[in-house]
Amino acid sequence: MKKFLTILVLGLLLTTPSQADDVKDLEIEGMSIGDSLLDYMDESKMYFKFLYKDKSFKTTYFDKTKIFDDIQISVKSDDNNYIIHNISAKLYYKKNYNECLIKKKEIIKEFKSVISSDIPTQAEDNIKRKSDPTGNSTMSYYAFYFDNGAMAQVFCTDWSDELFKTKQYIDELKAALYSKEFSSFLDSN
């Protein structure tokens, strides 16, 4: 039986008291790692982008879902079954990083209430965001590392004023689930 974690408007709602020991036991807006994207989106509405130099994975989006401002879904480029390897749900906080940090704490608390306490975690605050060429953006990060190499994470990004002005980057919270294969892929890109 799958153990579920559903993210709701003001946080996450635990749907079963069982402890998750695999990222596939979690869900965001009803979707889990290992599900087929075809169960949630008609193939004719799938518009994929390649976000990485290595084109092994492609990404599509759900805009303005029930809860989130957008959800990013990644599948293997050559997979006609569209098996989900990454779900990244975002909430945007226009110049309100402190509100993002409050929401992050709520989500981490809910993750902890569902994920087995044996799962290793890592937390870091005020680390430089590598994707900012100005070097002025920071993030606050919390991750859960499952035994099989999969990962769940929650983080807030405080984008620099320069990126806000030039590229309209808005402070954001991201709650994400990654398969082992996608985690390895990200480490190599």
What six digits make up the tokens of 161? 């004023």
Calpha distance 140→82 (Å, rounded) = 31
- Other residues' Cβ atoms within 10 Å of the Cβ of residue 187: 7
Q: What is the bridge-based pairing of β-strands 57-63 and 70-76?
A: antiparallel
Give the model's pLDDT for residue 11. 35
Give the model's pLDDT for residue 10. 28
Give the model's pLDDT for residue 100. 95
Give the model's pLDDT for residue 18. 59
Can you give the pTM of this predicted structure?
A: 0.84
CA distances from 105 to 29, 86, 109 (A): 19, 22, 6
- Helix (H, G, I), strand (E, B), or coil: what is residue 66? coil
Give the pLDDT means over successive 10-residue stretches in the chain (189 positions): 32 48 89 96 93 95 85 97 97 91 93 90 89 88 94 94 89 96 91
Calpha distance 150→85 (Å, rounded) = 10
Contacts of 130 (CB under 8 A, 6+ apart): none
